[in-house]
Amino acid sequence: MKEIIAIVRPNQTQATKKELAAAGIHSYTTVRALGRSRQGGLRYRRQWLRRSADIRFLPKRLFWIVVENQQYPALLEALIRANRTGRIGDGKIIVLPVAEGYTIRTGERDKESIR
């Protein structure tokens, strides 16, 4: 199993959900987040005050997804298809191995627990 953490633009949330559904991925968690990477935030020049205003962290959306190994290639393609614009700030995808998973209510383990 693999855990995928995708950090994307908030305006791409609906497109990402649509692509995940088309790829057969229905179980995931998403939260609002603030972050930055190479774009370094934003800087606005205020002409009337003769100074700039910095926004150090930008709004982002995090998707946490756990899938079986055979679902991973389709999931990766769906995330890239939904979020690639070619501009700085498109996001990141982090992939981690999952050793074990459990469903608390039923006691299901591993593959059965991520359905």
- Predicted local confidence at residue 35, as pLDDT: 82
Question: pTM score, two decimals?
Answer: 0.81
CATH number 3.30.70.120 is the correct assignment for the domain at 2-114: yes
Task: Tell me the C-alpha distance between 28 and 22, whole Å.
Answer: 14
* Greatest mean pLDDT among 4-18, 29-43, 97-111: 4-18
- Predicted local confidence at residue 28, as pLDDT: 95
- Of the two residues 112 and 84, the one the predictor is more confident about is 84
**8 Å CB contact between 59 and 32:** yes
Closest CA to 6 of 73, 59, 79, 84: 79
| Span 76-103, average pLDDT | 93
**8 Å CB contact between 110 and 28:** no
For the segment 32-73, what is each residue's pLDDT rounded down to a tens digit? 998 877 666 655 555 555 655 566 778 899 999 999 999 999
Domains of the chain, by residue range, sit at 2-114
